[in-house]
Structures are given as structure tokens and as C-alpha cells.
Structure 1
Amino acid sequence: MTTQTLVAADTGTDTVHGLLAAAVAARPDAPAVRDASGVWTYAELDAWSRAYADWLTAQGVGHADRILVRVGNTREFTALMFGALRRGIAFVPVNPAMKRFHLNTVVPDCDPKLVIGEGSHDTSVLRELTDRPVFELDEVRRGAEALYDAAPGAPDEEPVAPDDLGLLIYTSGSTSAPKAVVSTHAPIVFAARAIQARLDYREDDVVLVAVPVSFDYGLYQILLSVIAGAQVLLTSPDRHVRLLGTLHEHQVTVVPLVPSLGEMLLTLARRDRREAPPVRLFTNTGAALTGPVIAQLRAAFPQARVSPMFGTTECKRITVLEPDGDIARPGSVGRALDGTEVLILDDDGRLLPAGTVGEICVRGPHIMTGYWQAPEQTALRFRPDPVTGEITLHTGDYGHLDADGHLYFEGRRDDLFKRKGVRMGTLEIETAALDIEGVTAAAALAPAEGHDLTLYAVTDLTADEVLAQLTERLEAAKVPAACHLLDALPLTPNGKTDKQRLRREQK
């Protein structure tokens, strides 16, 4: 178990829009958010958020209602989010890449008062899934523009409390049907402040957000930047081929990465002869960057440090490793956030000593409320301590702590298994595969009915060559029975390897 010192309380209110109010008071004329079409200062972002709030009020949306917003990385997303939250309206962000298969569940599940989509095709699909009003983003933008220049509209309807619902964030559905994590204002704000205390974004930072803002990794970049008074630079997947040029043009200093984005950035950097842009910090969560990718990032961006992290939507962030801490502690994803605890428990809920693998469990003010309209799933993952009654989040992820409280991730329950009498995990096998020169990506599937341990690899080597080199790195029981070569690993919309799709293709 590890416990960290409590983060000092901020002088502002424990509401998300209170973070924006503090930034406006401190730096009204500083650039706050930029996208492909322009930039807003903090004062302008605040004014636009009020205009969008007034538009929502005019549509009859009020305190405790929910709106579903399925738009990409645009300034309007930020104004809609802060506008909804300042009126006590719950904001439900949904990735435009989410397929109808999952939308069939998500839209009726959150029961929104209204829905906003990106374009006509998008909204036509959404209208088939709900009888609530569905608007195109352009239509909403025009409505907000009319209110932006008008006299101030309706005041904030009533005070928003720290325990009011702020966000419903649907998990990616990579392991099951999407379910929404209920996020009230207080744990959102605590988590954002605690992460910022560890990463120390600065007011002169330009923070690239190339991961989807509907993904909590992307969304919280907005909150971290607001706390610091930094500038958020929003970009979308169709602009990723120009990613390095974007870093140069806007002098980006902070880049949150998932592996696919890191590998694309390195590919672009190899072709570019200019001096590296002034990136000072790469962060990583969602899926881990491999050791070779981290080393290549340091070589290509010599001013940059790397900060691996580990988290889950149910508490936002579990651990953050200090920048470049992986050099001394390879494989670590860091220490618990200040004011929180990480515990490693066995299957009976007993505390395990340092160095022993068990389930990663979490306590602290960043624990969200549970799952939306899913009491059985909530009871399974959010469990009260039998002695203190404090809620403990059981993540379903496995790992161990070292003697100094640094966490090492081993895998999910389904990724840990016994084969030929030997306990192992898919992460170990993937790491060994990525150690082979010429293997650029790898995913291992645990044995399942009808299939033995299987590796998927992206490489110019033959499958037999990959397996032969694995025998030099792993004991015999851990060498996969089969290796399949792919041009690229399938990815979820959030940039993680889509193992569910690989499993389906096995059948």
C-alpha cells in the first residue's frame, strides 16, 4: 500500500466551471483553446461557454438534464462542455468514430434531453436512435453566435454543487459493451488538480490534443491546461499526417501520446531535417509506450522528457511517474496521486506485500460514483471497505508495487493465465516480441476455447523467424503456438489495440 500527501485545496470552488472562472480571472487575454479555424482567449472561451449555455437553456435543457455531444476536437466542444456544466447540465461526450453497434446502447442508456452531432449523416443516424431533439453542430454554432453578441441571457439557473453530475464518460467497449462512468464535479476537479500537481503544466505551455476529446485522456487535457492557464491546441485524426508540422508551427511543448500516435510522430520525424520542435514533455496512458519507442522519442526530441502514467476512467488517473522516472525504474507507471492510495489485493481482498502481483485497487477523492444505471456492475467494482466503509475501486487490472510505492502493471485479469503449468501474461510476451529488431507492433491473445496462445505482429520478418527469436527470450511455455503477420494492428477509436476484433477474427 502507498499513500501520498494530500494535494493542497485550491481557493476556487470544487466545480469544473470554477476552474475556468479562476483562469479567466488570472489570464483573461491569454490564448486558451485553438483549433484549425482559430483561437479563443480565456475571456472569449468563458463568453462562448455562456452563449452555448444560453442556447441550451432556450432549448429547455436544465439542471440535472443530460446532453449527448458527438463531435470531434473543436473549440465548440470546449464551449459546450463548460456551458453545460455551468448550468448543472451533465455532459456526455461520444466519439464520432463510435459505430452504430455501440451507439444503439449508448444513446438510449444515457437518455439525453437533446443530442448534438457533427454533420447531416451523423445526425440522421442519431435520429434513428432517439426521439429527443437532434441538432447539427453548425446549427448549434449559429444559435450560440446570435446569443454571443446579444445582451446576457438567462443567469446560471442555480448554484452547481460539487456532488452534482458533471460527466458521463462511456468506456471504450474494447472488453464489453460500453458503460458510463458517473463523474460528479468534486472527483473530476480533485483528479485534475492532482494530475496537474504531478505534471506541472505551465502557463506558457502549448498542449497538443490529438487524442479524441471524448476520451478522458483528451478531455482532461483541457482541464489541466485551464488550471495552468496554458493553451490547448486541438487537432483531429485527418490532420495527423501533418502532426510534426503542427508541432513546429505552434511551438507545441506538451504532447499526450498513445502508442499509435507516438509511432506516427516518429515516422514523420525520421523524414524531417529541421531542428526538433520545442516539446518538453510527452505523457502516456491508455496503452503503454514500449521501451524502444520511448528511447526513439528521446533521440528525436532531445529537449523532451517522458512521463508514463496509469489510469482508468473510474478514477481518471491512478499513478503518474515523474518525468524520465522510467530511466531509473524501467516499466514503472509511477506513484499514486497525492491524497490517494494504491493497494495490491489478492482474490480474497487481502493486502499483498511489495513485489507480489495482485489486483490493483484504489482509494481516494478521485474515485467516481459508479456506473450509470448499472447497480450490479457498480457493486462489483466499487466496494466498501468492510472495516472503514471507504469505497475501494477494484480495477480488474493486475500488477505489483515496489518497496517505494511505484506501480508496475502486469495486465488485465483476462491477460493473465497459466499455460503448461506456468503463470504468465500477454504483456510479457508482447514486450519480448517488441524486443526483436524489425517487429514494430505486437499483440498476444491468451489461450481460449479452440485457440492456443497466439501472437500478432507487424514486421517484415517471417512468422517462423519471430517465433524462433522468441525462444531466445522466453521460456518454452511462454512461446506462442502461432504467429500471424499483419500490416497494422487494429485499433479502437481511443488508440488501443483492438483485441476484441483480433479475437473475433480467430473464430
Structure 2
Amino acid sequence: MLDGAAAAAPDDPAVRDATGRWTYADLHAHSHALDAWLAEHGVRAGDRVLVQAETTRLLVALFHAVSRRGAAFVPLNPAMKPFHLSAVVANAAPALVIADAALAPALRALTTVPVHETPQVLAAAEARLGSRAADTVRPDPSAPAALIYTSGSTAAPKAVVTPHAQTVFVVGALVAALGYRRDDVVYCRFPMSWDYGLHKVLMSCAAGAEVVLAGTEGDLSLLRRLREAGATVVPIVPSLASMIVTLARREPDVRPPVRMFTNTGAALPQAVIDDLRAAFPGARVVRQFGQTECKRIAVMPPDEDTERPAAVGRPLPGTRVLICDPDGEALPAGEIGEIVVEGPHVMPGYWRAPEQTARVFRTDPRTGAPQLHTGDYGWLDDDGYLYFAGRRDEMFKRKGLRMSTVEIEAAAMDVPGVQAAAAVPPSPDRDLALCVVTDLAPTAVLRELRKRLEPAKIPATCVVLDELPLSLHGKHERRQLAALLDGAPA
């Protein structure tokens, strides 16, 4: 992708961060220089290069350099603490580690392989500009391009193996589905340690667009930075979308040239979608749905962004979505079941975790096709559009009725004055609860919810907080909320 972009438009801007900008020719040259540096340090095809650093131009060049080696890029969020870091380092077994200066000591305590600091790595690349490694390889399409560590149902993070073939398919399919253009400026606040951030970098490269890496900057000036950057495409999660709406209300005269917001990671409430459209007239708000285990499952066509407001999109071309009952049998349109995915974007499994892989990545006994059993629930309509009902840990029964946190949160966000909402499923010692950020009284929020939800779905408790705890990827930390509600230190 990078070689093609650099050959087609070497002087076009490729990547920008807080310290500067590289053209495609610059990025291309730095990737080759870093490839030569990695070769000098003994990195070979099949090795893992672990990187814990802020997302900058250097990180983008390193991804391409590691790919030129035929090695696997293992990006870790800088906020990952030693408790999880030790397990991840042991699982990845890297040949070489690169880290920001402040993070390097913790990594040196966990591994015997060399740990290089990013300032020195960047200096080494600058000193080698114009040089190339003698043994650059063309990677095997089935070999891992990256290992993406995710949290979830296990105590330690697990790594989704992300091969070159699946990555290339997904990037091409998403660029086409979303209509990325060469003149786009993609403003990305998400780290490359999250596949959402990594793929935005790669999609921008495939389209010949510019990506602006803005993950470590403050929030209050966000709207002005979007305008200064000339941002045309803004990937969002609900917390970021709510922040943008709040800032747009405070600064109605500051209008970045955004033509499209794209959402994934967590369901975007309809109220927030409506607010974005009101604040940015003419901008598309595109709903998407996916998992790291296959990157993306469905995308709402941008020109249909106002149609079927409850749908999260249509399956990517060349892929198939099934809704299955507990026995794995496909259900008809309109019935809720587990979302099961087939296609060339389904990853091969988790790194060095055969038992977890066997539970999630299976084979259709009738066709032999690889299948991803997502653990998410939803349904398809008669036209093949997918609707998301909730994740396995977000679905529950109360008073005999099956429901999800998603629908309760969406109703709460529809209440004027509610800035954020998180529903906490019932436990043996506590009924369904709702945590909100608002100036309203809890009783007022519950009164408004009774106008929007069936009686069984009305939370027993509403708690007003100053802010909701979020994960590194902007999702609700329901365990922290549950601990708070149960009286434990949160």
C-alpha cells in the first residue's frame, strides 16, 4: 500500500502528528530506513516487534518497516500497566522491543531482549535515510501483519492474529464502502494499539489520503484543531461524539469541514447522531459494526445514513452474516440470535491460545467455511441489514423479558439534559441500575424513561455521576460502575 501511494503521489501529505508532517515520499523513506535498522538488530521474518509508545509518525513508519521484515507488529497501549504487561510480553515473546522513554524501564524489567527508546529509534532512522535493507522480503499473505491485544472475557489480554491477507481485504473493502478520497483528511484520536486506529492509518494510505494522529492532545480545543487540520473524516466512539457535540454548542461559529463521521467500538445513541447532524449540517454519520476478530462486519452505506436508523449496516462485500440459535442453526429474518460471520476478513484465531480460539473461531460442519462466533446478538431484516441487540455481557432477562443495556442507554440519551448514560445489568444482590451524567434529578430521569420504555425495562435505581469511567477505547467500564453500585471501592 505504501509503495503504491508513494509512487503515485510522493509529494502528497501522508501523516501528521503534533510535531510535524510527512509526505508519502517521507514516510516511504523512513519505513525503508527503519527496515534497515531492524535488520541490523537481528529482526527476521516471523519475529514479533513489540512497541509501547504514543501513536506518532514514527509508529506509522515502524508498522511498514516491520512488515518489510516479514515480522509481526505488536502495538501496546501506553496506558497498559505492568499487571497486564507482564502477561502480554510473555505471550508475544518479542525479538525486539521499542518504547517511549518513560515506559522503557518497566519493559526492561519484564524481558531480556533489547528495549530501544523511541527518540533513539527515530534518530537512527533519520541517520539511515536513503538506505535499504539487503534482505527485505515480501511477506507471506497468511503470516501475521500484527498481533492486536484486546481485553474481554479473560483475565489477561489476548492477541487477535491479524494476517496480511485479511488486513488487505478489510482495508480495501472499507475504503470502497465508506468512499475515502485522496483529498480527505482523516482525524484520528485512537491509538494504533486498537485496530480502529491502526486501520484508519492503513485506510488513509490505501486511499492516498492524509491521516492526522491526535491521540494525546487536550479536549477543550478539539473543535478548533479539527478546523485547523481541515478534517473531513472523523472516526468516533460515543464519548468522543458527545464531546464534539458539547463543544459545537459552546462554539457555534467554529465549523470544521467534516463531511463524514464514522462510528464503531460501541453503539452510538440516536440522540447523539441527531445532535451531530444538527451541529454539522450535511455531514454523514455512518454507523458500523465489527470486532477485532474480523475487523468489520457491517457498514451502513454513507448515502443511506438517515435510513433505517436502528440498523448498523450491511455486510461487507464478499462476506456473510448469519443469525444463529444456541444450536448453531440459522434463524429467519427478524429473529434475534448470535451474530455469526463468514468471509475473507475472519481472522485465524488468538495467538498461542488454542482453547479460546476453538470457542470463537469454528468451522461450519456443512460447508467447511471458517466462522466467527461473535458472542454478540442481533437480527437481520428482509433486505439483509443488520441490527445489533447487545453483546453477550450486555444481554439479560428481567421480569421475564429479554433486554440489553444498549436500548436502555439509548432511551436515557434521548432525555434532554442527559450527557452520558450507562446501564448496569442486575446481579444477585442488586437490581438493574442506570448511571448518568446530567444536571437533572434521578427521579426526573426515571420519569422521562417511563415515557420511552416498557415498565420492565425501567431501572430500579438511577445514580448521577460527574463522569462515567471509560476503557482505553472509550467504552463503558461496567465492572467499575457495578463495584460503585455495590459499595466496593471503584
* Global fold match (TM > 0.5): yes
Q: Aligned pair in 2 of structure 1 residues 176, 409: CA closer, same or farther (>3 Å)?
A: farther
For 2:410 and 2:45, how far apart are their aligned partners in 1?
A: 48
Shift of 1:401: 0.6
Shift of 1:333: 0.7
- Asked if residue 209 in structure 1 is aligned to residue 191 in structure 2, the reply is no
Match in the other structure for 1:222 = 201
Match in the other structure for 2:73 = 91
Match in the other structure for 2:33 = 51
5 Å matches for 1:21-32?
A: 21-32=3-14
Q: 2:450 aligns with which of 442, 463, 471?
A: 471
Q: 1:134 aligns with which of 115, 131, 139?
A: 115
1:222-262 per-residue CA deviation (whole Å, 9 max, x = no partner) reads 11111111111111233333221222112111110111111
Match in the other structure for 1:65 = 47
For 1:261 and 1:426, how far apart are their aligned partners in 2?
A: 19
CA contact (8 A) 2:2 2:28 kept: yes
Match in the other structure for 1:116 = 98
Match in the other structure for 2:243 = 264
Shift of 1:174: 7.7
Letter in 2 for 1:93: P
Query: What SS is found at the alignment partner of 2:306?
Result: coil
For 1:207 and 1:138, how far apart are their aligned partners in 2?
A: 26
Shift of 1:275: 5.2
Percent identical residues:
55
**375-384 vs 243-252, which deviates more?**
243-252
CA contact (8 A) 2:227 2:254 kept: no
For 2:99 and 2:483, how far apart are their aligned partners in 1?
A: 30
Shift of 1:364: 0.3
Shift of 1:44: 1.2
**497-506 vs 72-81, which deviates more?**
497-506
**268-277 vs 298-307, which deviates more?**
268-277
1:156-198 per-residue CA deviation (whole Å, 9 max, x = no partner) reads 4433111111100011448753110001100010011111110
Match in the other structure for 1:287 = 266
Shift of 1:330: 1.0
- Asked if residue 34 in structure 1 is aligned to residue 16 in structure 2, the reply is yes
Query: What SS is found at the alignment partner of 1:60?
Result: coil
Query: What SS is found at the alignment partner of 1:241?
Result: coil
Letter in 1 for 2:462: C
For 1:173 and 1:72, how far apart are their aligned partners in 2?
A: 23
For 1:214 and 1:223, how far apart are their aligned partners in 2?
A: 13
5 Å matches for 1:114-263?
A: 114-119=96-101, 121-149=102-130, 152-173=131-152, 176-263=155-242
Instruction: Please give the TM-score of this superposition, normalised by the length of structure 1.
Output: 0.93
For 2:239 and 2:196, how far apart are their aligned partners in 1?
A: 15
Match in the other structure for 2:62 = 80
CA contact (8 A) 1:48 1:79 kept: yes
Shift of 1:459: 1.1
For 1:127 and 1:503, how far apart are their aligned partners in 2?
A: 35
For 1:133 and 1:501, how far apart are their aligned partners in 2?
A: 36
Q: Aligned pair in 2 of structure 1 residues 286, 336: CA closer, same or farther (>3 Å)?
A: same
For 1:158 and 1:233, how far apart are their aligned partners in 2?
A: 29
Match in the other structure for 1:351 = 330
Q: Aligned pair in 2 of structure 1 residues 174, 145: CA closer, same or farther (>3 Å)?
A: farther
5 Å matches for 1:253-402?
A: 253-274=232-253, 276-323=255-302, 325-402=304-381
Query: What SS is found at the alignment partner of 1:148?
Result: coil
Shift of 1:73: 2.1
1:322-351 per-residue CA deviation (whole Å, 9 max, x = no partner) reads 125342201211000000001100100000
Match in the other structure for 2:417 = 438
Unaligned runs of 5+ in 2: none
**242-251 vs 308-317, which deviates more?**
242-251
Query: What SS is found at the alignment partner of 1:335?
Result: strand
Instruction: Please give the TM-score of this superposition, normalised by the length of structure 2.
Output: 0.96
What RMSD over aligned residues (CA atoms) do the two structures have, in Å?
1.5
Shift of 1:370: 0.2
For 1:469 and 1:267, how far apart are their aligned partners in 2?
A: 22
Query: What SS is found at the alignment partner of 1:92?
Result: strand
CA contact (8 A) 1:370 1:382 kept: yes
1:431-486 per-residue CA deviation (whole Å, 9 max, x = no partner) reads 12112221111111112232221111111122222223222322222111212211
Query: What SS is found at the alignment partner of 1:239?
Result: coil
Shift of 1:43: 1.3
Q: Aligned pair in 2 of structure 1 residues 211, 434: CA closer, same or farther (>3 Å)?
A: same
For 1:161 and 1:131, how far apart are their aligned partners in 2?
A: 28
For 1:489 and 1:391, how far apart are their aligned partners in 2?
A: 38
Letter in 2 for 1:61: V
Q: 1:488 aligns with which of 441, 459, 467?
A: 467
Q: Aligned pair in 2 of structure 1 residues 156, 241: CA closer, same or farther (>3 Å)?
A: farther
**324-333 vs 248-257, which deviates more?**
324-333
For 2:395 and 2:411, how far apart are their aligned partners in 1?
A: 16
Q: 2:2 aligns with which of 20, 27, 40?
A: 20
- Higher relative CO (Cα under 8 Å, sequence separation at least 6) belongs to 1
Shift of 1:503: 2.6
CA contact (8 A) 1:361 1:394 kept: yes
Number of residues paired by the alignment? Answer: 486
Q: Aligned pair in 2 of structure 1 residues 200, 156: CA closer, same or farther (>3 Å)?
A: farther
Q: Aligned pair in 2 of structure 1 residues 174, 349: CA closer, same or farther (>3 Å)?
A: closer
Query: What SS is found at the alignment partner of 2:128?
Result: helix
Query: What SS is found at the alignment partner of 1:403?
Result: coil
**160-169 vs 415-424, which deviates more?**
415-424
Match in the other structure for 1:11 = none
